[in-house]
Amino acid sequence: MTDVKNAPDGRGVEPVWDQNQPAWDETTPRGTSGLFRGITGADWLVYAAVAAVALAIGSVNALSTADDIARRGGSYNLKTPLLWEMTSIAVIILLAPALFAAVRRIRREPRRLVRIALVIAAIIVFSAVHITGMVALRKLVLWLLGGNYDFHLSLATLLYEARKDAVTCLLIGGGMWLIDSRREVAAVTTAAPAAAAEALPHMVWLRDGTTRIRIEPKEIIWISSAGNYVEYSLADGRSHLVRGTLAAAEAELARFKLARVHRTRLANLDRVTAVALKPSGDFELTFDTGQTAVGSRRYRNAIASLETKTDLLNPSNTYPGR
C-alpha cells in the first residue's frame, strides 16, 4: 500500500467467514406514553386504528339503519341513527386505553382460572361503563337540542346491549393481545443475534487449507484490501494475505472497534496513539507499534470518538488516542 508505512509481508490464508461473500467491498451505511400505565407511546398507532375502524363501522351502521327504515315505508333520516352510533363509539374510543391496560394485566397473570375471571370481569365493567356513558351522552346531546332520550331500561335491553359489548370487548382486547404477542416475538428475534454476537469468543479464526490460525482481534493493527484479497497486519509484525472482501471483515470485526478509515482500510481504534489532521480533511493515524496509516476525510466520522478527547482546531495537531 502506498499510504501505509512499515507494512510487513505475509503468506496467504483464507478466513472462515470470508467464503462465498459478495464481490463488493463497501458496506451500506444506515440512514442515519400513554394515558394509563398499560398503554405506551407505541400503542397510539393501534389506538388510532381502533378509533378509525370504530368510526367507519358506526357510519356504515347508521347508513344501513336509515336505509332499512326508508325501505319499510318510513322517512329517510340519518341524524338519529348517526347520533346513536357516534355516542356509542365515542365511549368505546375513550375506554380503549383502559382496555389495553386490562389486557396487559391479564397477560401477566400466570393462572388460567384467574385469567378467565379477569376476562369476564373486564367484559362486565366494559359493558356497564359503555352503556352508562352512551346513555348519558345521548341524554346530554338531546337535552342541548331541546329534546329528551328514553333508554327503555329493562333486562331485555341490557342483555341486547351487553352481548354486543361482549363481542366488541373481545375483538379489541383480542386484537391487542395478538399485537403484544407479536411484539414479544419480534423483541426476542431482534435480541437473539445481539446476544449471540456477545457470546462469540474474542478471537478470529483464519483457515489455510486444513490449517487453522487464531488471531486475537486486539492484535490487529489494520486490515487493508488489495484487489480480491485483504491483508491483516498484526502488532507482532506478522501479516496474512487473505482472499475475501473488506466488507466481510468489517461486518465481522466492527464490535472489536475495527472501523473503516479509508475505502481500502480498517483500523483498530483501540491501538491508535495519535491522530494528525491534514488541511485536506484527511488524517494520519499513529499506532502503538509506531506504524502509521492514512485515513480519508470521507470516513472522518470513524474517529469522532478519538477527536472528542482533545481540541483539534489546529489541522497539524496530534493527540493521544488512548
pLDDT of residue 91: 92
Quick check: 127 pLDDT over 90? yes
Residue with cell 411484539: 183
The whole-angstrom separation of Cα 252 and Cα 248 is 6
Task: Provide the grid cell at 140.
Answer: 346530554
pLDDT of residue 125: 94
pTM of the full structure: 0.47
The whole-angstrom separation of Cα 125 and Cα 131 is 10
Give me the domains of the chain, ranges plus CATH numbers: 43-198 (no CATH), 202-307 (2.40.50.1020)
The whole-angstrom separation of Cα 217 and Cα 207 is 16
Share of the chain above pLDDT 70, in %: 75
Instruction: Please enumerate, as own/partner, the contacts of 183-188 that have beta carbons within 8 Å and a separation of 24 or more.
Output: none
Mean pLDDT of 128-157: 91
Mean pLDDT of 110-134: 93
| 38-54 pLDDT per residue, tens | 455 567 777 788 888 88
Do residues 209 and 224 make contact, with C-beta atoms less than 8 angstroms apart? no
| 221-236 pLDDT per residue, tens | 999 987 888 888 899 9
The whole-angstrom separation of Cα 122 and Cα 166 is 9
Task: Provide the grid cell at 257.
Answer: 472497534
pLDDT of residue 281: 85
Quick check: 17 pLDDT over 60? no
| 269-291 pLDDT per residue, tens | 989 998 888 888 889 999 999 99
pLDDT of residue 97: 87
The whole-angstrom separation of Cα 252 and Cα 275 is 25
- Kindly give, in sequence order, each residue whose CB lies less than 8 Å from that of residue 169, ignoring residues fewer than 6 positions away: 99, 122, 123, 126, 127
Q: Which pLDDT band, with edges at 50, 70 and 90, does 140 fall under?
A: very high
Do residues 227 and 242 make contact, with C-beta atoms less than 8 angstroms apart? no
Do residues 217 and 204 make contact, with C-beta atoms less than 8 angstroms apart? yes
Mean pLDDT of 249-263: 86
Share of the chain above pLDDT 90, in %: 22
More confident residue, 241 or 120: 120
H-only helix segments in the chain: 43-71, 79-107, 112-144, 155-199, 246-253, 304-307
Longest dimension (CA), the chain: 98
